[in-house]
Structure 1
């Protein structure tokens, strides 16, 4: 008998279809989403359209679907729905991530407090309710510091401040960019951890935390930390990998995370790996998709479905190659038309994919006017990390963003 899994939020087709497709190969998908079905239709056995920001609508839709189908699991890969999915699981009597853990995954400040209480290596921090408190904390921690909203994702509005004046601007920007679900006005001011930044994606079931993909992160557009590229695969030496695994497992246990998949961000400092944050959902930026591409026989959707239904996922083989993704940004504000590149470029054996993700006619800007203002992305493979980086840069350089410049250009 094929089991039914309730999925809350389908996400963007370019960035989540691979997961929904893999899930639908083994399970019946009961989908609750924001818009009428289009690309999701082949994967959804049943569907409800709701306003996802309205928790009551989501719960009502879940109860309606559960009345028609026996639900074996509840999942989401939508950052804004992580806590809601856990609450829906409780309402339906379906085991899922503990509600407290799910809510903690949505608040970086609470995470810092839990890490400190459980001696998980992380950044020194302060939750500042006023600018004066933030200034005192920054001077105590030592400049530069990182200033961030507590409930946003994808490094949006996260900013480096190297002086009192920069902190003043960063503090107000972070407060004004906060997720609407966090209403207390507290801004996170924390130590600037230096070193290579990495991410670890894991599945977690019955207390077992198993990493299934590592990635090196590349950021740009200082003083912000816009995520512009990732390299996935066997990217660390054996000793560092073991240390990263140990810290990642300790972080999950400190937060009480279980029965879910996660995306953890760390910094490889001179003092060892330190946790930046743990996200209680499938990794973004197509990192899990790249794991599929470089790992024979691996399906992210099947893994997510197994965890949601309380089954141990199949063992993941070691990556057979390195894979990288780089996102394509405009050089200035524009009305985007299309991507242009030599036709033969896509036929190069090391080029995996060139994809446009923004519709023609939309405006694109650079941080801080717009975060994640991407026209598309390129994916390439190589034998070494440095070669992947080089190929991604070369590939991105050969893809042109065609558009109409806007008078209000980014500075």
Structure 2
């Protein structure tokens, strides 16, 4: 019987289809999801529908699939399911991400502790259970500080605060925004790391950590850190890239990660690269898809399937070009209708893609009323980072996000 890879959760069409398609080209995919098959249908050999938040139900579905398939790898790229997928692997006796490593990937404070123990450069931090504790932590670290939930992703509810008054408001907002799986009421207060922010995607197998894609991150909607754009390719000089690789390898090993791909976020500070966090899954924001465009022959699905089944991926060449993405937001809160892009721009050879990701009728609000309230995105290529940034901005400013304003 052909070996199968179990995928738990498939994510959203526009942001994860490339990964599922690439995986299905190389492996037999058996899938557990929360809804009936839709866009996933061409890629799934077998499927079970269940409540992904119900651990017992997920275990039962996985065991049922394992009874009829030779499952040799367990995968998820959904942030909230990382620990559950690791537990499924352990339950089935299939080598997968270690459960404790998966839990550390879901808890930013635990990561900080493990980085500190291993000597991995990162931010100074404190956990605060009250506003008074948060104020004391900020006084000890020194303003500005960053206040964040421990278990959210995509920089949701993360903000910089520069005074005690701002801290008091930020503390309550971070605590109210916390992932339900972390219910102790503790909020992370940490040192603000100044410098350009980057992310590094790597594959990890048997203690070997191999970075293969680096992205520059652009954020907006201060004091929050909404991720609005990324540029992927050869974006660092060789000395900086070498230092980044070293820190990425050490941070992934400090968490005990294995048999997966990771997305490590770092700040390039005046003291060198420092880790913001390690995500124990495929990078979001379409960064891995940008890597496929930038690197000739790269299949993210093939890489993910290889490490999940205990095989070393084929060598990944250096990027052949630079490519960037910018997300499209409304100018104000609205009920979304459509995108309107000038035809002349769509004909430009450097425009790779313009896509709508929200359905007509969706209510879109700006941070902090809503995070990741995107109408769509644009992807462009260019000769250097500055050119891509300029082209992405030009595309975004020329693309109208149409809809009816919300007056609520």
TM over 0.5, shorter chain: yes
1:265 aligns with 2:265: yes
Q: How far off is 1:2 after superposition?
A: 3.6
Counterpart residue number, 1:297: 297
**Structure 1 gaps, min length 5:** none
Query: Which residue number corresponds to residue 187 of structure 2?
Result: 187
CA offset at residue 66 of structure 1? Answer: 0.4
Contact 1:290 1:324 in 2 (8 A): yes
Separation in 2, partners of 1:298, 1:202: 13
**Aligned match of 1:229:** 229
| Aligned position for 1:130 | 130
Give the 3-state SS of the residue equivalent to 2:132 in structure 1.
helix
Q: Residue 356 in 1 paired to residue 364 in 2?
A: no
Determine whether 1:243 maps to 2:243: yes
1:324 alignment partner in structure 2: 324
1:73 and 2:73 aligned: yes
Instruction: Indicate conservation of the 8 Å contact 1:321/1:383, yes or no.
Output: yes
**1:315-346 deviation per Cα after TM superposition (whole angstroms, max 9, x unaligned):** 11111100000000011100000001122322
The residue number in structure 2 matching 1:388 is 388
Judge conservation of contact 1:2–1:26 (CA < 8 Å) in 2: no
The aligned counterpart of 2:252 is 252
Question: Retained in 1: the 8 A contact 2:131–2:171?
Answer: yes
Structure 2 gaps, min length 5: none
Structure 2 partner of 1:288:
288
Corresponding position of 1:86: 86
Partner of 1:307: 307
SS of corresponding position for 2:266: strand
Q: Distance in 2 between matches of 1:342 and 1:3?
A: 48
Q: In the alignment, what sits opposite 1:160?
A: 160
Question: Contact 2:147 / 2:161 at 8 angstroms: preserved in 1?
Answer: yes
- Preserved CA contact (<8 Å) 2:73 2:95: yes
* CA distance in 2 between partners of 1:332 and 1:339 (Å): 14
Cα drift, residue 70 of structure 1: 1.1
**Contact 2:339/2:401 (CA < 8 Å) preserved in 1?**
yes
**By how many angstroms is 1:258 displaced?**
1.1
Check conservation: 2:2, 2:70, Cα contact below 8 A: no
Q: CA deviation at 1:43?
A: 0.2
C-alpha distance in 2 between matches for 1:253 and 1:17? 29
Aligned to 2:32: 32
Hey, what's the Cα distance between the residues in 2 that align with 1:276 and 1:333?
Answer: 30
Name the residue aligned to 2:372.
372
Helix, strand or coil at the partner of 1:167: helix
Secondary structure, aligned partner of 1:42: coil
> How far is the alpha carbon of 1:143 from its aligned partner?
0.6
The residue that corresponds to 1:105 in the other structure is 105
Distance 1:29 1:346 in 2: 36
**Structure 1 residue 407: Cα displacement:** 1.1
The C-alpha deviation readout for 1:175-217, integer Å capped at 9, x for no partner, is 0000000011110000000000000000000100000100000
Contact conserved, 1:77 with 1:281, CA < 8 A, in 2? yes
- CA distance in structure 1 between the partners assigned to 2:48 and 2:400 by the alignment: 39
Q: Does 1:405 align with 2:376?
A: no
Alpha-carbon offset, residue 3 of structure 1: 2.0
2:8–2:33 contact (8 Å) kept in structure 1 = yes
TM-score by length of 2: 0.99
Aligned partners of 2:212, 2:316: CA distance in 1, in Å?
7
Name the structure 1 match of 2:95.
95
Instruction: Identify the residue that residue 201 of structure 1 maps to in structure 2.
Output: 201
Match of 1:148 in 2: 148
Kept in 2: contact 1:108–1:150 (CA 8 A)? yes
- Contact 2:7–2:75 at 8 Å: present in 1 too? yes
Give 2:43's aligned residue: 43
List per-residue Cα deviations over 1:210-261 (Å, max 9, x = no partner): 0010000000001100000000000000000000000111111111111111
Could you say what secondary structure the match of 2:234 adopts? coil
Indicate the SS of the match to 2:45. strand
3-state SS in 2 of match to 1:43: coil
Distance 2:377 2:385 in 1: 18
What is the TM-score of this pair, normalised by structure 1?
0.98
Partners of 1:335 and 1:355 lie apart in 2 by 18
Q: CA deviation at 1:55?
A: 1.3
Aligned length: 408
